[in-house]
């Protein structure tokens, strides 16, 4: 096989994996701490994409757009948390899953009202190609990968080195005991939801130059993001990282072999992993409290 093709495929896979990671990490944290499945994260992803597109159109700066996208996505997630999730944290997982799916659908409807049905293209902010191991690769994709690495390091530092992060980690094990120590876990819930929403928005914004922005982008993303979360194991940060790398590579290398494989192979791998380990690679037996 052509080495240059292989290298550019790997970079391609890493860059999609990075986007998946940004979306899946928030979902995974939300599941771990609050035991909710927050399908509405895909709404914040779409909002992030549309805000980036809008700011780019009016102000002309992709990077400012990205920043605003993160802020808007996080704010919307905060509103949803206060309006809906506050009332349903105690409920069963399937309950939160259905409710959040309703939020996602309603959000898609609103997006259609504001921006219409027509898919919008977003030009890449960086057209430069760089040479990596003798292969020309788009600089933008490399930057996406670097941003994801930066975010991973930040999250790792936050969870391991700050007291709030430690409280979140402890909460993933047993939120009730954290509350018993006098820590306001509901505040931790809100914070985690906010972080997840912001990261989803960032993921959406970063994804725009690589795809078309359209109202259904969030819905189309669901299977892939959830595949990442499932393969990694719900609630595991390390698992999410590893599985987003795997899924990204399977998609891009699968496409090299046979085009339809890029869409189907990851699902086949997911089902294989679940046959061997029904809780995913790093998933523990976290149950509803």
Partner 1 sequence: MTADGLLNVNNLNVAYGEAKALFDVSIEINKNEVVSIVGRNGAGKTTLLRTISGFLEPVSGSVIFNNQDITGMPAFKLAKMGIKYVPQDKMVFSDLTVRENLELSSYGTGDYNWEGVLGYFPRLKKLLNNKGGYLSGGERQMVMIARALLGKPPILLIDEPTEGLAPNIVNDLIDIFKRIREDSVLVIVEQNLTVVSGISDKVYPMKEGKIVSQITDREQIKSVSFENLL
Partner 2 sequence: MRKLIKDWGGIITAFTLLILVRIFLPLPFTIEILIFAIYTMGLNFLLGRLGFISFGQPAYLAAGAYSTAIYLFYFGSNPYIGFLVGILGGLILTLIIGPIFVRLRSDYFALVNLALSVIFFFILQKALKNITHGDNGLWYLTKMSSTPFLDLGKPNDFFIFTFFITLLIWILFKYIDRTIFGASCLATKTNEDKLKFLGYSNFKIRWFSFSLANTVTATAGSLYAIYFGFISPSVTEPARAADVVVVTLLGGLGTLYGPLVGSFVYTGLKDLVSGIITHWELVIGILLVVIMLAGEKGIWGTIQPLLKKVQLRITGKEA
The site partner of 211 among partner 2, partner 1, none (C-beta below 5 to 8 Å per kind) is none
The site partner of 156 among partner 1, partner 2, none (C-beta below 5 to 8 Å per kind) is none
178 is an interface residue for partner 1 by CB under 8 A: yes
Question: Among residues 125 and 165, whose Cβ is nearest to partner 1?
Answer: 165
SS (H, E, C) the chain: CCHHHHHHHHHHHHHHHHHHHHHHHHHHHHHHHHCCCCCCHHHHHHHHHHHHHHHHHHCCCHHHHHHHHHHHHHHHHHHHHHHHHHHHCCCCHHHHHHHHHHHHHHHHHHHHHHHCCCCEECCCCCCCEEEECCEEEEHHHHHHHHHHHHHHHHHHHHHHHCHHHHHHHHHHHHHHHHHHCCCCHHHHHHHHHHHHHHHHHHHHHHHHHHCEECCCHHHHHHHHHHHHHHHHCCCCHHHHHHHHHHHHHHHHHHHHHCCCHHHHHHHHHHHHHHHHCCCCCCCCCCCCC
What phi and psi values does residue 183 have, to the nearest 5 degrees? Answer: -100, 130
Place of tokens 């509901």: 186
282 is an interface residue for partner 2 by CB under 8 A: no
146 is an interface residue for partner 2 by CB under 8 A: no
Smallest gap from Cβ 103 to partner 2, in A, equals 6
Looking only at residues 35 through 54 of this chain, which bind partner 2 when binding is defined by CB under 8 A?
A: 37
Question: Among residues 126 and 159, whose Cβ is nearest to partner 1?
Answer: 159
123 is an interface residue for partner 2 by CB under 8 A: no
Query: Residue 195 corresponds to which tokens in the numbers above?
Result: 């972080």
Smallest gap from Cβ 257 to partner 2, in A, equals 13
Question: Among residues 177 and 277, whose Cβ is nearest to partner 1?
Answer: 177
End-to-end CA gap in the chain:
51
- Taking CB under 8 A as the criterion, the residue among 24, 234, 237, 247 binding partner 2 is 234
Instruction: Identify which range of 48-56, 77-85, 137-145, 171-179 contacts partner 1 by CB under 8 A.
Output: 171-179
119 is an interface residue for partner 2 by CB under 8 A: no
| CA atoms of 71 and 200, how far apart (whole Å) | 11
180 is an interface residue for partner 2 by CB under 8 A: no
212 DSSP β-pair partners: 121
- Taking CB under 8 A as the criterion, the residue among 59, 146, 257, 268 binding partner 2 is 268
Looking only at residues 78 through 117 of this chain, which bind partner 2 when binding is defined by CB under 8 A?
A: 84, 87-88, 92-95, 97-99, 101-110, 112-113
The site partner of 84 among partner 2, partner 1, none (C-beta below 5 to 8 Å per kind) is partner 2
- Taking CB under 8 A as the criterion, the residue among 222, 238, 255, 284 binding partner 2 is 222
| CA atoms of 239 and 157, how far apart (whole Å) | 17
Residues forming the site for partner 1 (CB under 8 A): 163, 166-167, 169-170, 173-174, 176-186
Residues forming the site for partner 2 (CB under 8 A): 31, 37, 84, 87-88, 92-95, 97-99, 101-110, 112-113, 216, 219-220, 222-223, 226-227, 229-230, 234, 259-260, 263-264, 267-268, 270-271, 274-275, 278-280
């Amino acid at each position: 096989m052509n080495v240059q093709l292989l290298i550019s495929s790997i970079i391609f896979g890493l860059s999609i994996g990075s986007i998946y990671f940004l979306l899946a990490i928030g979902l995974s944290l939300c599941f771990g701490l609050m035991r909710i499945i927050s399908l509405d994260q895909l709404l914040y992803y779409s909002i992030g994409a549309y805000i980036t597109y809008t700011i780019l159109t009016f102000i002309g700066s992709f990077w400012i757009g990205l920043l605003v996208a993160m802020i808007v996505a996080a704010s919307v997630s905060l509103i949803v948390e206060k309006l809906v999730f506050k009332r349903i944290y105690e409920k069963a997982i399937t309950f939160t899953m259905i409710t959040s799916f309703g939020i996602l659908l309603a959000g898609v409807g609103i997006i259609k009202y504001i921006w219409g049905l027509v898919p919008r293209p977003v030009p890449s902010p960086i057209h430069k190609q760089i040479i990596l191991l003798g292969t020309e690769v788009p600089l933008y994709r490399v930057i996406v990968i670097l941003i994801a690495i930066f975010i991973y390091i930040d999250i790792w530092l936050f969870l391991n080195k700050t007291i709030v992060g430690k409280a979140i980690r402890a909460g993933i094990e047993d939120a009730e005991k954290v509350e018993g120590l006098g820590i306001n876990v509901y505040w931790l819930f809100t914070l985690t939801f906010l972080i997840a929403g912001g990261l989803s928005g960032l993921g959406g914004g970063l994804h725009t130059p690589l795809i078309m922005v359209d109202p259904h982008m969030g819905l189309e993303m669901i299977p892939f993001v959830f595949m990442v979360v499932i393969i990694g194991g719900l609630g595991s940060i390390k698992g999410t990282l590893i599985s987003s790398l795997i899924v990204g590579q399977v998609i891009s290398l699968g496409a090299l072999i046979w085009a339809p494989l890029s869409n189907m192979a990851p699902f086949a791998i997911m089902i294989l992993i679940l046959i061997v380990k029904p809780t995913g690679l790093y998933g523990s037996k976290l149950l509803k409290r």
